[in-house]
Amino acid sequence: MADKTITGMTAELIAADTPAISDPAVPAARRGFPWHVIVFLAPAVIIYTAVMIVPLAETLRLSFFNRDVGGGEIFVGLQNFIQLFSDERWSVQFWNALWNNFYFFLIHMLVQNPIGVALAALLSMAHLPGRTFYRTAIFIPTMLSVVIIGFAWKLILSPIWGVSSTLLGAVGLKWLYAPWLGKEEYALTALSLISVWQYVGIPMMLIYAALLNIPDEVIEAADLDGVRGPALFFKVKLPLILPSIGIISILTFIGNFNAFDLIYATQGALAGPNFATDILGTYLYRVFFGFQLQAGDPHMGATVAAVMFLIILTGVMIYLLGVQRRMTRYQF
């Protein structure tokens, strides 16, 4: 018994004299440098720097230079930006593309995200039959190639061999049919709704996951208070998933101001008809690489890319500093 007591006291003395590694009172020099953190982060940092940081820095650098008479580069400061905003050679199509991009974004915000929230609310109902099938069917288009989506919808809406006229006629709505992709007033709206159809599964799944993470105790407490049905969603669940809705909104903003592939796959680089579907992505493509008789200008293209970057950065900063900080304040 005495031996056990002595052994226990010895162990306690050793533990007391040996500082824990995680103890904040231990000097950093005695803890050792966390080389394992650098080892694990180095591959991702190197790849991200090579693929994202370096091209971004080079793009921003090009936007402040222009071609010299001798074929070199000359620093021009903000002259490229002034030309982009005021010179008719660049500004007319730029402002048209910028407005179209905002319209493209608003359609997604006002149609895609509310539908995604509504679908998530329906699919989160435990007694809904076939909800696994519906969830899979709605999410499948997001995994398909945008080129396939664009080409398929171009065939469906074609006034020559498309099936949209026949389908609308079968349900007595043929009077609604029009060559939507061929008319300036309808083309951008039609493409926006096609994009909504393809990507509505993303907000649906994110909101669905957020709804599943709501504690059962909260739902049971609301049920005891007599809050059921639609009132349960709007008064209890919706306030709890607002952070997820905010994340979806900022992802929608970033994705839409980087959009290019759907417009290019359906309407080409000229974003017809008559640039009615032109957005910043297609405008950047024509300016930077050139198209048909238009020669490419890397410096003006970099200027357009820099403006796109500043727009996206401004939107993200407004969300982080304004919306997200307020949500965190009320949440805790």
Residue range 170-179, pLDDT digits in tens: 888 888 888 8
- Residue 178 inside a domain? The answer is yes
In angstroms, rounded to a whole number, what is the distance separating the alpha carbons of residues 214 and 269? 45
- Residue 77 inside a domain? The answer is no
Please answer whether residues 201 and 138 qualify as being in contact, where contact means their C-beta atoms are separated by less than 8 angstroms. yes
Higher pLDDT, 131 or 85: 85
| Mean pLDDT value across the chain | 86
Least confident of 81-85, 245-249, 324-328: 324-328
Looking at residue 143, its pLDDT comes to 92
Q: Show Cβ contacts of residue 54 under 8 Å, excluding neighbours closer than 6 positions.
A: none
- Residue 72 inside a domain? The answer is no
Helix axes 242-257, 298-318, angle to 10 degrees: 170
- Residue 66 inside a domain? The answer is no
pLDDT above 80 (res 168):
yes
What is the number of alpha carbons within 13 Å of residue 323 lying toward its C-beta?
15
Count: domains in the chain:
1
- Residue 232 inside a domain? The answer is yes
Residue showing tokens 């226990």: 8
Helix (H, G, I), strand (E, B) or coil at 73: strand
Question: Phi then psi for 272, rounded to 5 degrees?
Answer: -75, 175
Q: Show Cβ contacts of residue 105 under 8 Å, excluding neighbours closer than 6 positions.
A: 252, 253, 256, 257
Distances 303 to 8, 53, 280, 287 between C-alpha atoms, Å: 72, 17, 12, 10
Which pTM value belongs to this model? Answer: 0.83
Model confidence over 122-142: pLDDT tens digits? 998 878 888 889 999 999 999
- Residue 6 inside a domain? The answer is no
Q: DSSP letters along 143-193, please?
A: GS-HHHHHHHHHHHT-TTT-SHHHHHHHTT-GGG---GGGSHHHHHHHHHH
Model confidence over 196-221: pLDDT tens digits? 999 999 999 999 999 999 998 988 89
Looking at residue 174, its pLDDT comes to 84
DSSP state of 296: P
CATH number for the domain harbouring residue 282: 1.10.3720.10
- Residue 8 inside a domain? The answer is no
Question: pLDDT band for position 167 (50/70/90)?
Answer: confident
Higher pLDDT, 325 or 24: 325
The length of the chain in residues reads: 332
- Residue 90 inside a domain? The answer is yes
Chain centre distance of CA 264? 19
pLDDT above 70 (res 15):
no
pLDDT above 60 (res 99):
yes
Higher pLDDT, 104 or 166: 104
- The domain of 313 spans 83-331
What is the rounded average pLDDT of the residues 221-250? 88
